[in-house]
Structure 1
Amino acid sequence: MTDACGGHVLFLNWRDTEHPEGGGSELYLDRVATELVRRGNRVTLLCQAHGTAPAEESTPAGVRIVRRGGRHTVYLMAALVYLIGLLGIGPLSRRRLGRPDLIIDVGNGIPFLSRLWARRPVIVLIHHVHREQWPVVFGPRVARIGWWIESVLAVRVYRRCQYVTVSESTREELIGLGVDRQRIAVVHNGTPEVTGEPVPRTAHPSLMVLGRLVPHKRVEFALRATALLAVEMPTIELVVAGQGWWDEPLRQLTDDLELGDRVRFTGFVTEERKHELLCRSWLLLVPSLKEGWGLTIVEAGARGTPSVAFRSAGGVADAMVDGETGILVENEYDFFRRVRSLLLDTGRRTGMGGAAAVHARRFTWEKAGAAFHDVVTGQLAGARPAPLPQPIPRQPVRE
């Protein structure tokens, strides 16, 4: 089905799905952008250059990718590409980029502030608020500056813009920062359809962490829990699937805890390998400090694997039905205690896995793309759309 509206939508994001540190934010963008193209829009993504990736290319779905600048300079390059394009000067002229009808400004802590330099409608896409992450990644001074930019400057700059976020938790945080509730639409992530034959669980207790290896994911919590559990369960195994710049400290901690024969770092995994690992694992561990949405929780649930995550992490609470499809915990000791309890209780763990599979089927990328398209269409038409869609009600998920 195509609802052609002839709009040219420009996404501004610091990374694309091919970036080595790309994650759930980039996957979300790719899927909703693909849906916009399918429905008759023209879509361009401007993001940072990396490695040997070409400066410009198009995805098989028809999304054009323009890569300029680096980790920090991509924000300046976005403004230059847009302004030079409007002036029609040089190799970045609008004959190459094209004049967008709408800009989707993706905020990953540092915003592009496109509302200051672009005379076009702007939708602000926020996955989660970075209040807790600034001091984890940066020193006190930089953290204070970053948090002021995100929580004060950006809110002021985008005060008349439509927002989209991926969870009710993030919407409430944005409201707390001063964003008008009526200008925030909630569009959940989807979950890819499960492909491949089911794979049996391991005979021994097995845990899995899936995601980028960065400090705020707190993989250390999973490692320390495994060390404690190994005293009682000597055959336990933890698989750490993903890559990132925090890889070496995690490997060092693994050695310090004498877990070399119980922890396996896989690095990047293909979809086929991810399917196998999620099917085989008894539990998915999500010790992350903050998430806009628990994408890995729903992915694991689609394979009948329940999760344990932290209640304070935000969007994970929207991706899980606490006590039915997984468990939300309060602190690190509670994390260890609940993981141990589920590993020892086969009946409860299996029941949660079945409920998680039912729950996961409620979230599809087709639904997410359609809801996002509705917000974009409203902005292209000059309307002020109501928040879309309504939150999925908390209803029993057992069959």
Structure 2
Amino acid sequence: MRIALNARILQAPRTGIGQYVAALAMALGETPGLQLELFLGWTWSARLPEAALPGYSRWADAAKRVPGAYRIRRWLEQSAFDKGLTPRGVELYHEPTLWPLEFEGPMVMTLHDLTHVHYPQTQPRDRLAEIERRVGKGVERSRCVLTDSQHVAEEIRRHFALPADRVTVAPLGCAPRFHPRSAEAIAAPLQPLELVPGQYLICVGTLEPRKNLTLALKAYALLPERVRAHLPLVIVGMPGWRDETLNETLRKAVASGQVRLLGYQSDESLARLLAGARALLFPSLYEGFGLPVLEAMASGVPVVLTRTSSLPEVAGEAGVYVNAEDPQEMSIAIQRLVDDESFWQRCRALGLERAGAFSWQRCARITSDVYRKVLEG
């Protein structure tokens, strides 16, 4: 099988979908009888790029202000894509984002979530219209739609009126870098950030409304001063869609000196930060999967999270669940993980066991089975 995987997203710093593309490509590379051809936007490659393009974020921000820049880039990408198909003998095209390219042969699409349906207000109007048009067209063309969770699979079937056999769930995996680490192993790397292993809380995710970060900030503020004085809250993630309520709450929290914004972190830095945390706070309102939850559990770190969308599929009985609108309940859950060592150890053990059920090899196996089914059918 010769499969074209659109990996253009790897030009940008890797967040959720970028991590998915990179990890899936690596796992698919170990599949017998499968030749993966990666389309990187302008060029083709059989190997993953080691890092994002230098200065990509600045270039992308500048391009948004140029009239017609999107259409020009799209035309250039489609041209480069078309030129590379024939010499590579591509049999099937896999699109892992919301922006499928044109392809005359069989196509598979991964639809990670329906955020644009549930939270349309987080997108500029013209971008939302383009997303709706391209996603709908991509789903219609796809022989099979892959997704990360049963929750989203059911949403996709209802929203697009698809039969059950057109949607396949391929749960995500966890990179080997996410594993328990001793305090001695991470003390030195954390020192420049003025963090001590086991003595901070962490939130991970793009700063946007659906991540519900305000809940975590309010819950943290309700903790006793003695706790906050020795247990800072660090927030890791790139800026997302504008939300004035979050911005104001975040500004006040950071001004207190007890909440720290670390911004985007490299893969290894994030793995160390997660492994050193007392707990991950994940108050999201909607997730297609919730990869940081899995990564925290694999690192031996308990997770306080909401029982929304796909999250219970990931955390199972290992999660400490709270109401998505109740800061007091989240604060009490955090306090228990801080004060009750036996409860913390129990959550840690359950999380490690739960994380063992997920792997990128399993995700790749399900994905490659879909490829075969599509090509044979």
If the TM-score is normalised by the length of the shorter chain, which range does it land in? 0.7 to 0.9
Correspondent of 1:103 among 86, 93, 96: 93
Q: How does 1:184-223 map to 2 (within 5 A)?
A: 184-193=167-176, 194=178, 197-199=181-183, 206-223=200-217
TM-score of the aligned structures, taking structure 1 as reference length: 0.74
- Tell me if 1:289 matches 2:279: no
> Aligned-residue CA RMSD in angstroms?
3.7
- Output one character per residue of 1:207-244: Cα deviation in whole Å (capped at 9) or x when no partner: 10123333432323222222222446342310112333
Return the alpha-carbon distance in structure 1 between the equivalents of residues 283 and 339 of structure 2: 20
| SS in structure 1 of the partner of residue 183 of structure 2 | coil
Task: Mark the CA change 1:156 to 1:37 in structure 2 (over 3 Å): closer, same or farther.
Answer: closer
Give the corresponding residue for 1:56: 43
Q: CA deviation at 1:164?
A: 0.6
2:12 aligned partner: 19
Look up the match of 2:193.
none
CA offset digits 1:139-196 (Å, max 9, x no partner): xx55974685478x448733x6211111111111112211211111111111112468
Report if aligned partners of 1:133, 1:289 keep a CA contact under 8 Å in 2.
no
Look up the match of 1:38: 30
- Mapped to 2, the partners of 1:185 and 1:176 lie a distance apart of 14
Q: CA deviation at 1:135?
A: 1.4
> Cα gap change, 1:273/1:134 in structure 2, threshold over 3 Å: closer, same or farther?
same
For structure 2, the residue ranges without an aligned partner over 5 or more in a row are 188-195
Which residue of 1 is the match for residue 362 of structure 2? Answer: 367
Match of 2:238 in 1: 243
Give the Å deviation of 1:352. Answer: 0.7
State the 1:285 CA deviation: 0.9
Aligned mates of 1:163, 1:280 — CA distance in 2: 37
Distance 1:332 1:134, change over 3 A: farther
Q: Offset of 1:291 from its aligned partner?
A: 1.5
Seen in structure 2, the aligned counterparts of structure 1 residues 240 and 360 have a Cα distance that, compared at 3 Å, is same
Cα separation, 2, equivalents of 1:104 and 1:303: 31
Tell me which of 251, 254, 261 is aligned to 2:257: 261
Identity, % of aligned pairs?
A: 19
CA 1:59–1:278 in 2, change beyond 3 Å: closer, same or farther?
A: farther
Q: Is the 2:320–2:333 contact (alpha carbons within 8 Å) kept by the matching residues of 1?
A: no
Secondary structure of 2:260's partner?
strand
Q: Which amino acid aligns with 1:354?
A: A
**Counterpart mapping for 1:316-335 below 5 A:** 316-322=311-317, 324-333=318-327, 334-335=329-330
Aligned to 2:190: none
Of 326-335 and 280-289, deviating more is 326-335
Q: Is the 8 A contact 1:294 1:318 kept in 2?
A: no
- The question of whether the paired residues in 2 share the 8 Å contact of 1:137 and 1:215 is answered with no
Matched length: 349
Query: SS at the partner of 1:269?
Result: coil
Q: How does 1:107-146 map to 2 (within 5 A)?
A: 107-108=97-98, 111-112=99-100, 114=101, 117-130=102-115, 131-138=117-124, 145=129
**Where in structure 1 are there 5+ consecutive unaligned residues?**
48-54, 87-92, 384-399
Q: CA deviation at 1:270?
A: 3.2
Matching residue's letter, 2:155: E
Letter in 1 for 2:354: H
Task: Check 1:273–1:13 CA distance in 2 against 1; reply closer, same or farther (3 A cut).
Answer: closer
Asked whether 1:342 is paired with 2:337, we answer: yes
For residues 170 and 339 of structure 2, the distance between their equivalents in structure 1, rounded to whole angstroms, comes to 37
Q: State TM-score, norm by structure 2.
A: 0.77
1:273-312 alignment to 2 at 5 Å?
Answer: 273-312=269-308
* Contact kept in structure 2, 1:207 and 1:239, CA below 8 Å: yes
Out of 4, 8, 12, the position equivalent to 1:10 is 4
Greater shift after overlay, 165-174 or 142-151? 142-151
**What residue in structure 1 maps to residue 371 of structure 2?**
376
8 Å Cα contact 2:23/2:175 also seen in 1? no
**Does residue 1:170 correspond to 2:163, yes or no?**
no
Q: CA deviation at 1:252?
A: 5.5
Distance in 1, matches of 2:336 and 2:266, equals 31
Amino acid at match of 1:367: R
Contact kept, 8 Å, 2:198 with 2:277, in 1: the verdict is no
Q: 1:24, 1:300 → 2: CA distance? A: 14
More helix as a share of residues: 2
| Whole-Å separation in 2 of the counterparts to 1:84 and 1:276 | 38
2-side partners of 1:156 and 1:274: how far apart? 34
Aligned-partner Cα distance in 2 for 1:96–1:120: 12
Distance 1:149 1:234 in 2: 47
Residues 75, 231 of structure 1: CA spacing in aligned structure 2 closer, same or farther, 3 A cutoff?
Answer: farther
1:36 partner amino acid: L
Counterparts of 1:191 and 1:258, CA distance in 2: 31
* 168-177 vs 237-246, which moves further: 237-246
What is the rounded CA distance, in whole Å, between the counterparts of 1:19 and 1:128 in structure 2? 20
